[in-house]
Amino acid sequence: MIRVVLPAHLRTLARVTGPVELQVEGPVTLGSVLDALETHYPVLRGTMRDHVTRQRRPFVRFFACEEDISHEPQDTPLPDAVTRGAEPFLVVGAMAGG
């Protein structure tokens, strides 16, 4: 089970109050976790990645095991600790503006 921590505004949209738990089929990669998130919470489509290009939105960041993996390709495998659910996968609203 993958644990995902969403930023406050996306928790509000998804109507969840804490970390969400996801079952990811196949290899656990940056892209497959985002796919699973969007499948379970369709309201999040377009909020983290562009609908058309699937590119990360500029002010959204992805962290795992204290590493910023925002610039990694979406087929990048996530660390074992995230795959095992020991560490969360973090979706972060970048600190920018107000």
Please give the residue ranges that form the binding site for other proteins (CB under 8 A). 7, 9-10, 13, 43, 45-48, 50-52, 57, 59-60, 93-94, 96-97
The smaller minimum CB distance to other proteins, of residues 43 and 86, is found at: 43
CB of 8 to other proteins, least distance (A): 8
The smaller minimum CB distance to other proteins, of residues 1 and 52, is found at: 52
CA atoms 83, 55, 69, 73: torsion sign: positive
CB of 88 to other proteins, least distance (A): 19
Rounded Cα–Cα distance for residues 3 and 61 (Å): 16
- Distances 47 to 32, 83, 84, 86 between C-alpha atoms, Å: 16, 23, 26, 26
Residue appearing with tokens 């796919």? 35
The smaller minimum CB distance to other proteins, of residues 51 and 71, is found at: 51
